[in-house]
Structure 1
Amino acid sequence: MAYREHHSLMESTYETNGLHKFDLDAVIDHIAHWLPTQGPLKDFIHHNTLHAVQHLPFHEGVAIAAKIFGARSYLPLEDYQQLHRRGRIKDFAIDWALAHSGCAKHKQEQLRASLFVKDDASHYPPLSLANNGIRTTWLTRIEVGLNVLAHPVLFRLLGNFLDQGISRWSLPKDEENFWDCVLRLAQNSFLPLYPLNEPVVRELLSEDMDQVIRVCLEKIVGDEQLYEQYLLEMLLAHPGWAGMVRIIEQNPRALLARRNISLKQMIAVELAIELALLHKKKGPNFSNVASVPHSESIPLLKNGALKPKIPLQLRIWHEAMEWSLHSELLLGLQANAAAPAAKPAPEVQALFCLDDRECSLRRYLEEIDPAIETFGAAGFFGIDFLYQGLDDAYPVAQCPNIITPKHLIKESGSKSKADSKPKADDLANLHFSAHSLFRGWLYTQTLGIGYAARMAWNVFRPGSKLPGIRTLSEVESHSHLHLVRESDEPTEDGYLLGFSFTEMADRVGKLLSNIGLTQNFAPLVVIVAHGSSSVNNPHFAAYDCGACSGKPGAPNARAFAWMANNESVRAILRERGIAIPDAARFVAALHNTSRDEITYFDKHLLEQHPAPSLPAFQQTMEKALQRNARERCRWFELSPQSHSHEDAHEHVMERASSIFEPRPEYNHSNNLYCIVGRRALTRGLFLDRRAFLHSYDPGTDAEGDILVQILSAVFPVCGGINLEYLFSRVDNSAYGAGTKLPHNVIGLLGVANGVEGDLRTGLPSQMIEVHEPARLLIVVEQSPDILDKAFAKISSLRDWVDNDWVRLVACQPDSQDFFLYAATGWEKVELPADCQVPKAAHSEEIIVGQTQTIPVHQLVRRHA
């Protein structure tokens, strides 16, 4: 049924009441659905790469996407067979995958035998519109490299028009759109704008934009039934630029320096360029697309080219691989529940982002000091706002991109910029105004040699004191946030400047209720945000907090701690049943995940309200960070061979400071699990930094309302991270960005290979090379009945679980039984009785000598 609905949608642009009709605007809206939704570098937000087919079941969706983009849907067959030989794919998981394949019993044994047959062709992608469609066939026949000729011209125009600060001069005039800008250049430039100076095109440009598109399509394609497919294939030849233009068209605020552009304008310019080039190369009587015979092997939209063909062998192997890995967690949770550990009363409580990179740090804190209790939540900590720091020219969103903030928070300092002296590190970052011809030559001759020598030194001797590394994460102690709203008058942009005390209590109380921390507060509660710093990394936003729209979460942690410490806020919370003791102090901090350093904020506030247990916690945190660095080092080929914590910590700091290091950290590599429940479920489990951990108390959520709020963030944020890593790993050339090494930053928008390539979308190979591409398993500590109530309230997100883009298991709070969700209902999970969970005394015993993913372990001695 899903495919038939999708196929009818494809045909709707061709026929209306039996009569052929081409609706340009409808076609553009429809083909735009296939374009990437990756925004500018400053807002790199992880998302489902194949969002266009998320309304379909997972395997059907990836099969259709493969026919659009020319990408693999799974790993090659040999990779799965090798994982089976290594024991990473279990026989019981193959049995499970066969039983859930939908095949009749008598065919399952034949299918099982076929899994182990050698197949050298499984790594080839299928015939696709992107690589084997009508446009490719036509260009081959007429022997014109249209992409090679047209793309450099188009990309230069787009790059200069959309530039966000690299260029000294702005190409567009005020309020000028892309089409008008190109017309001005083509018609008024002293030097002709090649190839739009071709007479037939120059004359055509006097027509309106819609007419230009129709004339170009008529001359280039010739058959209205092929117009939509040609336009789609044309955009698929450069999906990065096309997707970027569509994002900016739909959300102009995606750019700090606004630009007026639309997909239709870009299509009009590109078609005009193509027509001009065809006239130059082939003359006015060139053969159009319709005149070239198309063989039956060429996919045509009008003939049902997108009918999915799912390779059953690869599907079974992939399901078996996932169930093997997912069962490791379920077996670990089962073993942990059978041997609960005694937990002392908490002396310190630490609230982290649910980010999988914080999973190991939380484990080390609890191993070192069992009196530390940790929690996890989305890293904006429920405080959604636009934030403008001391040095920020524009405010930026500090919340998930699915939330539209209504409040603006500004930071100020006690010293003015005029009074403050630049630091030595800041002097190294000064930009000389070398934009005049003479000054540019002078600075190049006199300073160039010195800068070249310094760069060479930084390449071969990276240090921990390069300029700007720590300042990316730190805020001066004298700065403060304007959190209290003094007037209800909105700003010019319609934002409220600050929060009222009631709004603060709403947000603080909501988060505390969501994570189950409404009583038994420790004397010290540390709110730990996270961010990442590295020297030479255009994808820096992908390493920061996804829940903060790709920014470090420090402003949110500072805001939450201030609000939770405020007496007026506490009084309101007390009336609502959340009594925070007077002696309890909230402290904000930020974990730099690349350098494994911690920064504590607003220390001047602690002088008024001291936190006696903070120094001891800081010492424990330092030990935990060093051990965390050592655990991370097992993935790095150049890491020290010693088992010294200090050496490991120094190494990760040097990696973040190295100008030639493409892997400052592996970020979310190998993310696989998300556990929503009490910490007792996972405390004492070694999860190899693979788990998103969100705290939740099932006993306080009889109607599933809290789950609605949690899952509304978990599905798009954690699910988006997981799927972007999955698809970038399965086919990095089609769904990923390739290697970082040839990447150049284009206009502060994105990266491209060289200076004239398409913008690369997805993740670079250096971020996914060690990733095991499996779908996220979400385990929720709640009964299936209450989960069903929650699902009924979030129908817009049901695609994630109904179509198996993530896996969901309910963990019954009283019995610890597991139930696997499917659109047809809940299925009780039967785990193999003969599978034992490996045990270890402590984490460091597990990681020694390991350079691959490690199965879930149970820690039998939970402190060190």
Structure 2
Amino acid sequence: MSNSINTSEIIFTNEKMAQALHTAAKKIAPLWPLENFVAVNPYLGLSGHSFESIARQLSFQAGIQTTMPRDYYLKAIQENKLLLEDIEIVLAKNKTIEYDDAPSFIRDLKSKDFEKVKTPKVNTVAEVARKISSANWPDFMLDCISSWASSYFDQAQSQWKKDKHQLSLFSAWKIEAETNRSPSLMGLKGFHQLITELPDNPTEAAKIAIDSLGLDEEALPIYLHSLLLRVGGWSSYIAHFDWDSNRYGREEELVSEFLSILVCWEYGIFNALKNPVLESQWKIAKEEMIKKGFSEGSNSAISDLLILQEAYDLSAQRKLTGKFKVKVQSNQENIKCKVQAVFCIDVRSEVYRRNLESVAPEFETLGFAGFFGFPINFVKVGHDDGYDQCPALIPSGYKVLEKIDDQNQNEKVILRRKLNRAFSFAWKSFKSSAITSFGFVSPVGLSLLPKLFTDSFGITRPVPHPQHNGLSKKEIENLSVDIESRQNGGQITGIPLADRVNMAKGALQAMSLTNNFARMIMIVGHGSTSVNNPHASGLDCGACAGQSGEANAKVASVILNDKEVRRQLAIDNIFIPDTTYFLACLHDTTTDEVSLFNTDLVPDSHQEDLENIKQRIRQAGKSARAERVLRMSMEGDGDIDSFVRSRSNDWSQIRPEWGLAGCSSFVVAPRTITRGLNLEGRSFLHSYNWKDDKGFAVLEAIMTAPMIVTSWINLQYYASTVDNKHFGSGNKTLHNVTSGVGVLEGFAGDLRSGLPMQSIYDGVNYQHEPLRLSVVINAPKEAMIQMLEKHDSVRELCDNRWIFLMAMNDEGEVTDIYDGELKWKKLNVEEGIFERNEKLIEELV
């Protein structure tokens, strides 16, 4: 081995190094690929610490912002969205800052020059090297890593592939680094030789690199986490492999391997450029990591902004709880329910549910996670592989095949889809390969001019959901699911009867739907329709792993209509009447149209009910579109229906819909409490009746699954809003899909995570307000405390104020808020507080 590797001062053993890498890796949240782009809390590995301490830590380690700029909050004060009284409440709680009142705090805040405040920040080797040389080493390192990762993780986008021989992550990178002369050409003389001399084992290589850099046990955790945050997109993408492996009971350490790569890069830069100045500056950087640390990695600006953010959350809670206090009681009890419709808890469903019940008083809507309690792996007709249709928190259970009941038609569809896929692959190869692409542009490109013209001017037919590609309208209507358990091509498909019964029972109990069944019950999944949209799956159902909820709705309806399933449910005192029929449906959240599936199977006795449903969903869709269009840039008095539908077909549309922008609360209660309330498409709604929940098993399931998932969604939108540079994906118009797994903003840089700016900002105003999730549950406070005592991960979210937990009584009034350490405190929704706030603002001005 060359003398360039100095092992004279060994600080870490292999075991200690492996543990340090593992600990840092666990702080990185997963990021799923574009085909199932589900929302993830980007602070996932950090929730064991308070929101405020993580805000300071992230600022110190990577310059990451966790609040909005000062002017955002000052504007919110003027708009009555942030109350001065709430600022005073927060100031009174914060013992480190003393102000007489909110106006004096605001005056002092305005006088500060935030731009001149120097925020302490960790410096890596590459960043130290940039300060003493003319080269931008951090960007060069990032571009090299991103280029290599794009090749390694390519998902059939590239036509010319490198043969990686099934190499591990670290081994594949090391081989590439040993032969790549780009670093040497940039001035890192001997870089490839330095990497060649490192061991092939990633932990051993990282240990030698860390020893060479002279990092001690106190600085190492800060440094390692900072490195991962510098390449946060690829780190998060790699983390999803570890997450999925863990979900299915396997152990992988791919993020640890990737971190070893980053450490070795730093080692290579340091030793290739080593000189007295670099060594001196690096020594200072290491000392600052320890001296300034997490607690000292703050400044008055961050503290001030954290006060404003907490007050902003409090003010939003006042408005939410105030709505429940003044709610006018519905006369629903006097109307016989003819149809029940189970929607996903998604905030977009709140708008449609409210409009449906408005035009159809005989309808009752319920909220439940959009996979409806049926975690399946779904294989589309004519496809060989399936995809999970369940939340990322749980593994899929059973492989379910799509089918068409007419066997001759089924075989034709299978053949046609396989031919279409073969043709698509050949066409893509011709269009994208390095040689034939030149022939594609001239002769073939001209033939696409008519399509380019019609697409550009909106002269298009409705775009089918990707699940229906290659099928005619009649075939789509006849698509069904095969739930019969059988051997199929060497694997077991379908769901055994006993498991169908258990899943049906669990789903009905979790929906609080175990009695008073209507004649027709709609199981309404949801999906979205858009074109030329890399993040399209992010608008589909997160509970279905970024897929449409159509398959789950069909599986649920088939099982719940099964006579044998119903017979066995009756043994457990769940009696579904023979007159009740479950109908699978799909809500398109872009157009607010609801599709009904397999209507030819609806009994003659229910045809009148079916016609009523068709009429009512048309009326509700028209009403919902009229409401949603208020958030869109529609000019003049045009046809609202045509305007909304055209957005789903417009290849240049950067905002086909607003998705879950605005999500800020999660209400768990009977629909009788929330019915008639306008929650403005900002609230997740889960049906729950605690009086029917013996032992509170359903409450436990809600607080450990849907509550976690809704916080993931809320915090993804929050982080994408407060710091789109680090936790969002930038400008959608600059996106380039890389490797088929994610997007770059422009031609280089890190893989972008989170949401595009166009998903949260309309160019003038933020359509998503950065508010932490307020969870309102109608259940005994003692029962909720039991769940927090039982589940540490849930308690961490509440204790550390990543979410706010509130209790609602049976009259529908929010009475208490969780105050940490398994204690509650009373909520005081004061009358007239908004009017008093306006007077305070006048005094301030």
> Which of 751, 773, 777 is 1:780 aligned to?
777
Tell me whether 1:367 sits opposite 2:362 in the alignment: no
Give the distance between the partners of 1:605 and 1:821, measured in 2 at CA.
49
Q: How does 1:126-165 map to 2 (within 5 A)?
A: 127=119, 129=121, 132=123, 135-165=126-156
Q: Once the 2 structures are TM-superposed, how far is the Cα of residue 162 of structure 1 from its aligned partner? A: 0.9
> Which of 636, 641, 645 is 1:641 aligned to?
636
Ranges in structure 2 where 5+ consecutive residues have no aligned partner = 1-9, 762-766, 836-845
What RMSD over aligned residues (CA atoms) do the two structures have, in Å? 3.7
* SS of residue matched to 2:695: coil
1:407 is matched with 398
Give the distance between the partners of 2:414 and 2:382, measured in 1 at CA.
15
2:712 is matched with 720
Tell me whether 1:804 sits opposite 2:797 in the alignment: no
Q: How does 1:312-461 map to 2 (within 5 A)?
A: 312-336=303-327, 342-413=333-404, 414=407, 415-417=410-412, 432=427, 433-434=429-430, 439-452=436-449, 454-461=451-458
Q: Report the AA paired with residue 636 of structure 2.
A: Q
* SS of residue matched to 1:89: coil
Determine if contact 2:391/2:543 at 8 Å carries over to the other structure. yes
Q: Report the AA paired with residue 669 of structure 2.
A: G
Give the distance between the partners of 2:286 and 2:74, measured in 1 at CA.
31
Q: Report the AA paired with residue 150 of structure 1.
A: M
Please list the CA deviations of residues 84-130 of structure 1 after superposition, one character each: whole Å capped at 9, or x if unmatched.
112222344344434544579xx452565212431464578973546
Give the distance between the partners of 1:185 and 1:134, measured in 2 at CA.
22
Tell me whether 1:300 sits opposite 2:297 in the alignment: no
Sort the Cα spacing of 1:749 and 1:662 in 2 relative to 1 into closer, same or farther, 3 A: same
Please list the CA deviations of residues 604-643 of structure 1 after superposition, one character each: whole Å capped at 9, or x if unmatched.
4226875430111111101111221121111122x1432x
Q: Report the AA paired with residue 42 of structure 2.
A: T
1:827 is matched with 825
Please list the CA deviations of residues 166-221 of structure 1 after superposition, one character each: whole Å capped at 9, or x if unmatched.
0123323442223443455567x7x96765996563475255224544555566x3
TM-score (norm 2): 0.86
Determine which structure has the larger helix proportion and give its number. 2
> Which of 60, 67, 75 is 1:74 aligned to?
67
Q: Report the AA paired with residue 48 of structure 2.
A: H
* SS of residue matched to 1:693: strand
* SS of residue matched to 1:810: strand
618-627 or 50-59, larger mean C-alpha shift: 50-59
> Which of 599, 611, 615 is 1:619 aligned to?
615
Give the distance between the partners of 1:690 and 1:498, measured in 2 at CA.
37
> Which of 589, 595, 608 is 1:599 aligned to?
595
Q: Once the 2 structures are TM-superposed, how far is the Cα of residue 820 of structure 1 from its aligned partner? A: 0.9
Tell me whether 1:175 sits opposite 2:166 in the alignment: yes
Give the distance between the partners of 2:311 and 2:620, measured in 1 at CA.
36
Give the distance between the partners of 2:414 and 2:397, measured in 1 at CA.
33
Determine if contact 1:411/1:480 at 8 Å carries over to the other structure. yes
> Which of 492, 509, 512 is 1:516 aligned to?
512
Sort the Cα spacing of 1:789 and 1:232 in 2 relative to 1 into closer, same or farther, 3 A: closer
Sort the Cα spacing of 1:454 and 1:182 in 2 relative to 1 into closer, same or farther, 3 A: same
Please list the CA deviations of residues 9-63 of structure 1 after superposition, one character each: whole Å capped at 9, or x if unmatched.
xxxxxxxxx9876833222212223434212222322122212321122222222
Give the distance between the partners of 1:683 and 1:797, measured in 2 at CA.
28
Tell me whether 1:552 sits opposite 2:548 in the alignment: yes
> Which of 225, 237, 240 is 2:233 aligned to?
240
Q: Report the AA paired with residue 396 of structure 1.
A: Y
TM-score (norm 1): 0.84
Please list the CA deviations of residues 123-173 of structure 1 after superposition, one character each: whole Å capped at 9, or x if unmatched.
78973546x556423431244322333333322221111100101233234
Give the distance between the partners of 1:411 and 1:368, measured in 2 at CA.
34
Give the distance between the partners of 1:723 and 1:805, measured in 2 at CA.
8
Determine if contact 2:798/2:818 at 8 Å carries over to the other structure. yes
Give the distance between the partners of 2:263 and 2:422, measured in 1 at CA.
48
Give the distance between the partners of 1:159 and 1:631, measured in 2 at CA.
42
* SS of residue matched to 1:634: helix
Determine if contact 1:247/1:254 at 8 Å carries over to the other structure. no
Give the distance between the partners of 1:124 and 1:461, measured in 2 at CA.
49
Sort the Cα spacing of 1:108 and 1:384 in 2 relative to 1 into closer, same or farther, 3 A: same
Please list the CA deviations of residues 663-704 of structure 1 after superposition, one character each: whole Å capped at 9, or x if unmatched.
111101111121111111111111111111100112212532
59-68 or 381-390, larger mean C-alpha shift: 59-68
Q: Report the AA paired with residue 621 of structure 1.
A: I
Q: Once the 2 structures are TM-superposed, how far is the Cα of residue 247 of structure 1 from its aligned partner? A: 3.1
Give the distance between the partners of 2:507 and 2:313, measured in 1 at CA.
32
2:44 is matched with 51
589-598 or 93-102, larger mean C-alpha shift: 93-102
* SS of residue matched to 1:304: helix
Give the distance between the partners of 2:754 and 2:148, measured in 1 at CA.
23
Ranges in structure 1 where 5+ consecutive residues have no aligned partner = 1-17, 838-864
2:478 is matched with 478
Sort the Cα spacing of 1:430 and 1:38 in 2 relative to 1 into closer, same or farther, 3 A: closer
> Which of 692, 703, 709 is 2:684 aligned to?
692
Q: Once the 2 structures are TM-superposed, how far is the Cα of residue 300 of structure 1 from its aligned partner? A: 0.4
Q: Report the AA paired with residue 336 of structure 2.
A: A
Tell me whether 1:746 sits opposite 2:738 in the alignment: yes
* SS of residue matched to 2:785: helix
Give the distance between the partners of 1:389 and 1:456, measured in 2 at CA.
32
Q: Once the 2 structures are TM-superposed, how far is the Cα of residue 737 of structure 1 from its aligned partner? A: 1.5
1:583 is matched with 579
* SS of residue matched to 1:55: coil
Sort the Cα spacing of 1:738 and 1:610 in 2 relative to 1 into closer, same or farther, 3 A: same
750-759 or 314-323, larger mean C-alpha shift: 314-323
Q: How does 1:2-81 map to 2 (within 5 A)?
A: 23-81=16-74
Give the distance between the partners of 2:328 and 2:690, measured in 1 at CA.
16
657-666 or 728-737, larger mean C-alpha shift: 728-737
> Which of 731, 755, 761 is 2:747 aligned to?
755
Sort the Cα spacing of 1:184 and 1:65 in 2 relative to 1 into closer, same or farther, 3 A: closer
Give the distance between the partners of 1:289 and 1:230, measured in 2 at CA.
17
Give the distance between the partners of 2:724 and 2:181, measured in 1 at CA.
39
Q: Once the 2 structures are TM-superposed, how far is the Cα of residue 459 of structure 1 from its aligned partner? A: 2.6
Q: Report the AA paired with residue 701 of structure 2.
A: Q
Determine if contact 1:524/1:611 at 8 Å carries over to the other structure. no
Give the distance between the partners of 1:95 and 1:224, measured in 2 at CA.
43
749-758 or 519-528, larger mean C-alpha shift: 749-758
Give the distance between the partners of 2:319 and 2:35, measured in 1 at CA.
37
Give the distance between the partners of 1:47 and 1:126, measured in 2 at CA.
31
1:12 is matched with none
Taking only the aligned residue pairs, the percentage that are identical comes to 23
Sort the Cα spacing of 1:532 and 1:788 in 2 relative to 1 into closer, same or farther, 3 A: same
Q: How does 1:75-114 map to 2 (within 5 A)?
A: 75-101=68-94, 107=98, 109-110=100-101, 113-114=104-105
Q: Report the AA paired with residue 344 of structure 2.
A: C
Determine if contact 1:401/1:549 at 8 Å carries over to the other structure. yes
Determine if contact 1:397/1:405 at 8 Å carries over to the other structure. yes
* SS of residue matched to 1:65: helix
Determine if contact 2:177/2:195 at 8 Å carries over to the other structure. no
* SS of residue matched to 2:151: helix
Give the distance between the partners of 1:440 and 1:697, measured in 2 at CA.
61
Give the distance between the partners of 1:360 and 1:781, measured in 2 at CA.
21
Give the distance between the partners of 1:731 and 1:479, measured in 2 at CA.
43
Please list the CA deviations of residues 292-322 of structure 1 after superposition, one character each: whole Å capped at 9, or x if unmatched.
2666898404763454647443333222222
Sort the Cα spacing of 1:186 and 1:694 in 2 relative to 1 into closer, same or farther, 3 A: closer
Q: Once the 2 structures are TM-superposed, how far is the Cα of residue 660 of structure 1 from its aligned partner? A: 1.2
Give the distance between the partners of 1:506 and 1:755, measured in 2 at CA.
51
Q: Once the 2 structures are TM-superposed, how far is the Cα of residue 571 of structure 1 from its aligned partner? A: 0.4
Paired positions, count: 801
1:842 is matched with none
Sort the Cα spacing of 1:477 and 1:125 in 2 relative to 1 into closer, same or farther, 3 A: farther
